[in-house]
Amino acid sequence: SPWRTVIVSDDARDILASQLIYILNEPCQYEDTSWIRPMKFVGVWWEMFTGEGKTWAYSDFYQAKPGITDYTKLKPNGHHPANTAHVKEYIDFASAHGIDGILVEGWNEGWEDWASYRKDRQFLFNKAYPDFDVKELQRYAKEKGVQMVMHHETAANAADYERQLDEAFQFMVDNGYHAVKTGYVGYIIPRNEYHSSQWMNNHYIHVARRAADYKVMVNSHEAVRPTGLCRTYPNWLAQESARGGEFETMGGNDPDHTCILPFTRLKGGPMDYTPGIFETRLSYYNGEKPNERVHTTLVKQMALYMTMPSPIQMVADLPSNYARFPDAFRFIEDVAVDWDNSWYLEAEPGDYITVARKAKGEDEWFVGGITDENSRTATIPFSWLPEGKQYIATIYEDGKDPDWDTNPQSYRIRKVVVTPKSVLKQKLAASGGVAISIKEADKAEMKGLKTIR
């Protein structure tokens, strides 16, 4: 069982900076970790949540059974985005923008009746739908310098997943997959077990350890709240294990939600929150969810890459939406996912967080600041930058008359010169944010730019 801890401070920044839970866990159990690499990834995923009728299933024949039904004889429903041609579009996008990988949900047999419990086996993890060409997509992705990310939804049938586990991981290795997103939606099978029961805790660890035998990295969703085991099993890169971005399409997350999670859920380990949603109004899609919306400004979505750190970060929106805001998307292209150091500049639980981080092995720094339902002015010192140099800070900020509900896509980008003595007073809209990228400057680049004193 995990340690029970209490972290106490009269300064909330100390709570965010504490690594107590992490270091109480056993050291890494693996001799070789060179294959474990942080990454950003896009995915065939968000379009299934927008209300346009796209689905994980290949057909509408709900009596289809994986491994028994001949899916090539079924009529395609025409709403299945996990198909070869569409996935290639995502691969092209990832390649063009320096994004490491692409997740595809709905690629494998079983989605027609996946959550009904009318069958003993919900999925096969080594059998693709007829419109998903595993070999061709792996060839194409490799040619483009992009990694394919596997998806294993279990429909909470953890017992059957364990029976298929070695076969599933061998299929991944044979087809060039080195990372998997697992899912546990529903009531756990075997019966009388729960997502947080001892049997399931043992299951999650078993999956991570067995994955390591195949040099596979794991990002688990609908799993138990983490307790620092990412130190012991570092291929267990991240978990969801709280209300992530997808819940914005199901009633929404309150504006203070992401100002709370770093003090609670994230103390146990990184979260795959799935940030980066630029089209925050689902009414844009003219689908079945006209009243749903993401409860943030566009800029706050950018800042979440800093305030909700994870070594595996999703670039969660549709490529077509990023194409509408290419200057803002530049920050997501640039932002790191692995860090040498972090400085918590401001923090109050449920109210606001401002953090600075140095990219691992690079002379690049990033700042992210978010706030709750109240607008505020953040005070951002740069005393953590190395002395004796000047830097260019590219500031992505909420724009004119920003409002997460009525005007979420108002943003502005500006460049200034900063030094370790600079202090920036930065306005944040209600449920807004600020995202800053920083690099060393030369005289030519600084010409005409304002210096922040």
Note whether 15 and 9 are within 8 A (CB).
yes
The CB density around residue 6, as the number of other CB atoms within 10 Å, is 5
240 carries an active-site annotation: no
**Cα angle value 304/308/312 (rounded, 5°):** 100
The DSSP 8-state label assigned to residue 389 in this structure reads -
Place of tokens 């490799």: 142
Where does residue 86 fall: left (phi above 0), alpha (psi -120 to 50 degrees), or beta otherwise? alpha
Q: Parallel, antiparallel, or unpaired for β 236-239 and 352-359?
A: unpaired
Give whole-number Cα distances, 100 to 40, 148, 177, 216, 420, in Å: 5, 9, 12, 15, 33
How many CB atoms neighbour CB 9 within 10 A?
Answer: 11
The three-state secondary structure class of 77 is coil
Partner residues linked to 436 by β-bridges: 367, 395
Query: What is the C-alpha separation between 306 and 325, in angstroms, rounded?
Result: 20
Q: Which residues contact 221 (CB under 8 A, 6 or more apart)?
A: 181, 182, 183, 184, 239, 240, 241, 244, 272
Instruction: Catalytic residue, from 246, 348, 364, 445: name it.
Output: 246
- Dist CA 143 CA 407 (whole Å): 40
Compute the CA torsion angle 156, 162, 164, 167 (nearest 10 deg).
130
Rounded Cα distance between 363 and 315, Å, is 23
Measured at the CA of 220, the angle between CA 216 and CA 223, to 5 degrees, comes to 145
User: Which string of DSSP letters, residue by residue, matches 243-278?
Assistant: --GGGGGTT---TTHHHHGGGTGGGGS-B-------
Residue 378 near residue 436, CB atoms below 8 Å: no
Burial (Cβ within 10 Å: 0-12, 13-18, ≥19) of residue 438: buried
419 backbone dihedrals φ, ψ, rounded to 5°: -130, 175
Catalytic residues: 246
